[in-house]
Amino acid sequence: MADTGFAATGKTDPGWYGGGIYLTNDSKYALEYCKTGPKWLVLTAATPGNIYPVTELNSSTDTTPGLASLKGKACEPGYQSHITYVPKGNLPHAHPVTAPTAIDSQLHAVEVVLFEGGQVLPLFIFCMK
């Protein structure tokens, strides 16, 4: 990432909420995605622009429970990023929360998907051993 930037990072996986760069506000949630070896956390500043709220739980073309209909897709037209809210007790797999009351009372983390490397500015890199 230090050599190629965030744009290359966003191309390694189709992504549940779009094919982009995934950020979260919760370090514990982020560390769930690190399988083995050192765990790297990058503290960033981000400019998400107009954010599309992902609230759909299933796609008509993908029968895997919990997958959103935006798997691998580009950013929704008219928006610059996607957002989903991760409820408590749902680690490591997020799914969209659809009811505003559930967001307020049971929010664990926020997951934001950016689609351009220029939307993210790395500030600090931490290695957790």
> Phi, psi at residue 4, to the nearest 5°?
-105, -15
When pLDDT is cut at 50, 70 and 90, the band that residue 85 belongs to is: confident
Q: How far apart are CA 98 and CA 105, in angstroms?
A: 13
Please list, residue by residue across 12-42, b when 16 or more beta carbons sit within 10 angstroms of its beta carbon and e when fewer do. Answer: eeebbbbbbbbbbeeeebbebeeeeeebeeb
Please indicate whether residue 103 or residue 17 has the higher confidence score (pLDDT): 17
Per the prediction, the chain carries an average pLDDT of 75
Q: What's the pTM value of the predicted model, to 2 decimals?
A: 0.76
- Residues 46, 52, 54, 55: what is their CA dihedral angle, to the nearest 10 degrees? 140
Domains and CATH numbers, the chain: 6-128 (3.90.228.10)
Give percent of the chain with pLDDT exceeding 70.
64
Above 90 in pLDDT, residue 77? yes
- Beta-sheet strand order (sheet of 81-87): 21-24, 107-114, 81-87, 51-53
